[in-house]
Amino acid sequence: MPPEAPALDAILSEARAAIQHAATAQQLTEVRAGFLGRRGTLAAKLRNIGQLPPETRGAAGQAANEAKETIERLVEKRRRELEQAKLRHNLEERRMDVTLPGAAAARGHLHPVSRIEAEMCAFFNGLGYSVEDGPEVESDWNNFGALNFPDDHPARDLQDTFFVEGGERVLRTHTSPVQIRAMTRLEPPFRFIVPGRVYRHDHDPTHYPMFHQLEGFCVGADVSFGDLKGTLYAFARHLFGQQAKLRFRAHYFPFTEPSAEMDVRRGSGAWLEWGGCGMIHPTVLRNCEIDPSLWQGFAFGMALDRAAMIRFGIPNIQLLFEGDQRVLEQF
C-alpha cells in the first residue's frame, strides 16, 4: 500500500535519530519503549495491519517486522556503544596515583626472642619433646643442690646469682630447676624442653642480667652422647641453615658428665659460643628418684637471646630489652 510506506520510513528515521541521541542506557530504554513498547509508535502501526485489506496485509506486516528488527538492531548497537563509552569513561575517571603507599592497618610485632622461642619449641615438639614450665623464683636446692652443685664450691661462682631476701630463695640462674621438678614427676623414658627466663648478675654488651634459655632433656635406656650430638646437629641446621657447623668442646657443668660446650659456625664465619650440653649426671637422676643404672640421658641448653642476636645480627643484647619501638618494629 503506497500510502503506508512513507509512514514506516518516517518512523524509522525518527527512531534512528532518537536512538543515536540517547546518551544513557536509561534514555535508550525509554526510546526503545517509545517505538517498540506496547504503546509505542510501531506497535500502533502493527495494530493497524489487521484492518488492512487481506492482500496488502502480508507485505505491510513484513515491512513492519523489518522495521521493528531494524530498530532493535539499532538499539542494541547503540547500547554497546554506550557501554563502551561508559567503560572508557570509567577507566579514565578512575585514574589515580597508584604510587601512593597502601593503606594497611598498623602491624604488630612479636619480640625477636618470642619468635625464636616459638620456632625452637615447634622444632622440638616435632621430635616428640613436650614443654615444661616452672617458677622463676626458686629454692636454693632446686637451682643448685639437686643439680649437684656442692656447697662451698667454686662451681657456684659460675653463675652470678641474685638472692631474694628471706628464705633460701634465688632468681633461677638457669631453667634447669624445671628439670628437677619435671623429672621427679615423670616416669622414664621421656623427653621435654624448658623455655624460660633466667637471671644472672652480669652486665656487658653480650650479657644482660635477664635472659632466656631453652633447655632440653631426653632420658631412655640407651640415649647416648652420640644421640645428643645428632639432635643438636639437626637443631642447628634447622635454626641456622644446612651450612651450619657445630663444634663440641669438653667443659664442666656440675649437672652433666661428660659435659660439653658447643660452638656454631655459619658458613665461613667465626665460631660462636652457643650453649652447653652433656649426659645427665647420675646424682641428678638419683635426686629425681630415677635409677641411673637403668636410665641415662642427655641435657642441653642454649640462650634464646644469643640465637636471636646471631639470627638477626643484633650487636648489643641491651637492644632487646630497652623496649625501643624503632628497634622492635624491625622484626
Positions in 13-72 near another protein (CB under 8 A) = none
Cell numbers 652447653 correspond to what residue? 276
Under the binding rule (CB under 8 A), the answer on residue 113 touching another protein is yes
Residues in contact with another protein, total (CB under 8 A)? 88
Name beta bridge partners: 122.
Answer: none
**Choice between 89 and 163, CB closer to another protein:** 163
Min dist. Cβ of residue 59 to another protein (A): 50
Q: Is 128 helix (H, G, I), strand (E, B) or coil?
A: coil
Cell numbers 661462682 correspond to what residue? 157
H or E, element range at 286: helix 282-287
**Choice between 3 and 101, CB closer to another protein:** 101
Handedness of CA 236, 296, 199, 205 (dihedral sign): negative
Under the binding rule (CB under 8 A), the answer on residue 235 touching another protein is no
Min dist. Cβ of residue 255 to another protein (A): 11
Handedness of CA 147, 120, 126, 109 (dihedral sign): positive
**Choice between 312 and 321, CB closer to another protein:** 321
Under the binding rule (CB under 8 A), the answer on residue 319 touching another protein is no
Under the binding rule (CB under 8 A), the answer on residue 286 touching another protein is no
Least Cα distance to 160 among 220, 208, 89, 110 occurs for: 208
Under the binding rule (CB under 8 A), the answer on residue 154 touching another protein is yes
Min dist. Cβ of residue 91 to another protein (A): 24
Footprint (CB under 8 A) of another protein, residues 177-196? 189-191
CA distances from 1 to 59, 70, 217 (A): 8, 20, 108
- Among 166, 267, 313, 315, which residue interacts with another protein (rule: CB under 8 A)? 166
Under the binding rule (CB under 8 A), the answer on residue 223 touching another protein is yes
Is the peptide bond prior to 258 cis by the omega test (within 30 degrees of 0)?
yes
Q: How far apart (Å, rounded) are the C-alpha atoms in residues 314 and 244?
A: 19
Q: How far apart (Å, rounded) are the C-alpha atoms in residues 243 and 246?
A: 10
**Choice between 58 and 135, CB closer to another protein:** 135
- Among 80, 86, 185, 247, which residue interacts with another protein (rule: CB under 8 A)? 247
